[in-house]
Structure 1
């Protein structure tokens, strides 16, 4: 064969290898969501790629047959393809045996370099950059190769499948999308600038609504302001003046004896009209939605929607009131810092390494704020104060502390027996003090 014939053969082998390399990477890197979108838009080729992704055995068998056949033929042709021409170029400077050996090495190096650069690296990088576009372009020829090489495909594929079954190796691709996958996509979107940090946080909060308890968003029992049926008009006005809210619970003698709620606007109208205020007037007291404390935020939102209510009492299994929840509370849980007034923030940074944290801050908010993946046995508590009680195994006192996950959680304020505020400080050596507890 002359020089031109060798160039044609080598070029054909490189092109064939390039085709198989691009097909392999493109199919593996193509995003199923993007292909499904293209298929819905009418691109039949995308549906074929999805089919190959769902049943990749025949495809990868053809790819391996093609790549190995090209590699063998390239080795045979490349060994002597350009050796005579390098021999002619080097004759004036070298003599045998160095002349023959160097000519062969240069020919082999040239052919190998062409295969590595043009048939392997370049096509794979292109396929990685635009996998869906490459996949739909090459899926037709690849399906043709699968049909032409069907006998060989069946032989090798059957042998491989038998070996997989023998060692109980899974051969089907798992395309299930988990919450972790969605979080990873949102993180990538935030890094790329498609999402800003606030939008990312809102989306993450929305996904957590099914796992976060309603108790993490409610107003706790000890913070409730409520009326008693026995309250006088002066008592009612004083409570409204001291703690202005839009709605107030009405109880009979004690908090756990719920009779309903009153709307502050209706009370205001009566005051303006000079009418007497009495909670024994059934027209003022409305029935109250009551939900169990075992509901998630998502389930609570469904309750509000079905009941057309925006206010509910949260009760536990003993029919004791543990708090109240409103649609604003649920919205605040999703919106996070965007819906919090500055005075209502539960985590306040003192400097880059220390924070003041309200004791009733939900443990999920603490995890997000400090990048802590999990707290030990978190099913046993819902707030950071509960975490302190669980770790200390007692009712906390001022200066009690817990070192965990690279942070020191120290009690700095106690209201009766309630943990009112903590100081959270970053620890320089978290590995050494990963789970210490103690008292000063």
Structure 2
């Protein structure tokens, strides 16, 4: 060492500090890189992304080779700084050299490169992978020895490196990703993606037409009344029954009878001969599952039944698709078939409107674990059949009953915003 010029020693020390910064930066870059962007680039032939993906399949190994290299150059830099200090000012300069080297490494080999790598991980990680991959293969025996000792220590606290999941996202995390991508995905597409994610949680009873709202043809009604119902129906498939929906005979596809119907020679016997077998859907069936069943069975509508076989409502393929793509209504004044926006900014909502529909259209966050419709929410809260004009608060929003029919709420008026005095009500208020 005495024969080596000081300038060469300083140059070697600078090189070791640069190497330390490279190891530190590559560690941060590989740990903070966007795994999904990396996989996308790797699938499209990016060599650096492919190497980085292979390295991150076992993070313990890539960390092992990085830390081996980083510690080696830091120790070498410390030894070299000690030699330089002895050459310049003797033993009294060793402490000063240690302090200066710590400050230099902290700034130039730790904070600065790691900050750069955190801000631009892709720029650092991909080039570093070209060096780290052959270095890992070269030092694999030593890396394996170090990792084995470290993994044995981790196994004491029941941590297994082999259990690494690869960064798979949960449904809630996917929702966050979609919400955060508002600048990249149009709002309508965002809502569709979120609707697809929600299909896993929603059940058929969340979107079905309740039993009292089912429109069908009663074979025991006068035939002219049935003819009128067929002629004015807004649906293409109608249930056909006798006296009650419980005595279902089948479904009639109106488009398949349109020719005979308008020729005037259509009879009840013709109607019965064109019926198709009804599809029954157990309550509690998930929307995603039922969508696949509709697709597999080539059906578009089914009757939801409980454990006793009693019919609860009717679920259609259109209703499931509306959960994803939005409403198909063509009325410009209606946001959905059940919710209409008035000129004064209030909403006229039918009692049969589902809680999910209200949440989606009005931006509310009502619980879907209880009642499934607005009528159910009102009756649960009031515990009685309200009269027209009765007002109450639902989640802090004023709701006024507009019309009741028998034992249910037919329609209600909803204010779009909470009053300032009831932004966070402690309990629901009721007046009439």
Q: TM-score, normalised by structure 1?
A: 0.77
Q: Give the corresponding residue for 2:222.
A: 232
**Alpha-carbon distance in structure 1 between the residues aligned to 2:363 and 2:108:** 45
Name the CA distance, whole Å, in 2 between partners of 1:74 and 1:428. 66
Residue equivalent to 2:397 = 408
Distance 1:226 1:372, change over 3 A: closer
Q: 1:427 to 1:327 in 2, by over 3 A?
A: same
SS in 2 for 1:255: strand
Q: Which residue of 2 aligns with 1:93?
A: none
Pairing 1:183–2:172 present: no
Give 2:211's aligned residue.
Answer: 221
Paired residues, number:
416
Secondary structure of 1:236's counterpart equals helix
Q: Deviations over 1:93-120 (max 9, x none)?
A: xxxxxxx99xx79x977x7776555534
Residue 325 (structure 2) pairs with residue 327 (structure 1): no
Query: Which of 281, 289, 298 matches 1:291?
Result: 281
Partners of 1:396 and 1:411 within 8 A in 2: no
CA contact (8 A) 1:403 1:433 kept: no
Structure 1 counterpart of 2:268: 278
Distance of 2:342 and 2:19 partners within structure 1: 64
Structure 2: distance between partners of 1:78 and 1:428: 68
| Aligned-partner SS, 1:299 | helix
1:259 deviation in Å?
Answer: 0.8
Is 1:437 aligned to 2:428, yes or no? yes
In structure 2, the CA distance between the partners of 1:19 and 1:371, relative to structure 1 (3 Å rule), is farther
Counterpart in the other structure of 2:355 = 363
Deviations 1:363-395, CA, capped at 9 Å, x for gaps: 3344445666672xx434323443444455555
SS in structure 2 of the partner of residue 15 of structure 1: helix
Question: Are residue 209 (structure 1) and residue 199 (structure 2) matched?
Answer: yes
Picking from 17, 22, 38, the partner of 1:14 is 17
1:262 matched to 2:265: no
| Shift in alpha-carbon separation, 1:400–1:73, aligned structure 2, 3 A | farther
Deviations 1:220-259, CA, capped at 9 Å, x for gaps: 2222221111233321233245544323221112221111
Alpha-carbon contact 1:391-1:402 (below 8 Å) kept: no
Greater Cα shift, 240-249 or 23-32: 240-249
1:333–1:387 CA distance, 2 compared to 1 (3 A)? same
- After TM superposition, give the deviation of residue 195 of structure 1 in Å: 0.5
Alignment partners' CA distance in 2, 1:39 and 1:211: 33
Does 1:309 pair with 2:312? no
Q: Which runs of 5+ in 1 are unaligned?
A: 88-99
Partner Cα separation in structure 2 for residue 120 and residue 249 of structure 1: 72
Following TM superposition, by how much is the alpha carbon of 1:50 offset from its aligned partner in structure 2, in angstroms?
2.9
Write the mapping of 1:111-190 to structure 2, written as runs, cut at 5 A: 115=105, 118-132=108-122, 134-146=124-136, 153=143, 156-169=146-159, 171=161, 172-174=163-165, 175-190=167-182
Q: Report the 3-state secondary structure (helix = DSSP H, G, I; strand = E; otherwise coil) of the residue aligned with 1:288.
A: coil
Shift of 1:3: 6.6
CA distance in 2, matches of 1:251, 1:132: 65
Mapped to 2, the partners of 1:114 and 1:357 lie a distance apart of 69
What's the CA shift for 1:278?
Answer: 2.1
The alpha-carbon deviation at position 353 of structure 1 amounts to 9.6
RMSD: 4.0
> Deviation of residue 28 (structure 1)?
0.8
Query: 1: CA distance between counterparts of 2:421 and 2:28?
Result: 44
Structure-2 separation of matches of 1:204 and 1:362: 18
Structure-to-structure mapping, 1:90-109, within 5 angstroms? none
Cα pair distance change 1:46/1:344, threshold 3 Å: closer
Change beyond 3 A, Cα 1:251–1:205:
same
- TM-score under structure 2 length normalisation: 0.78
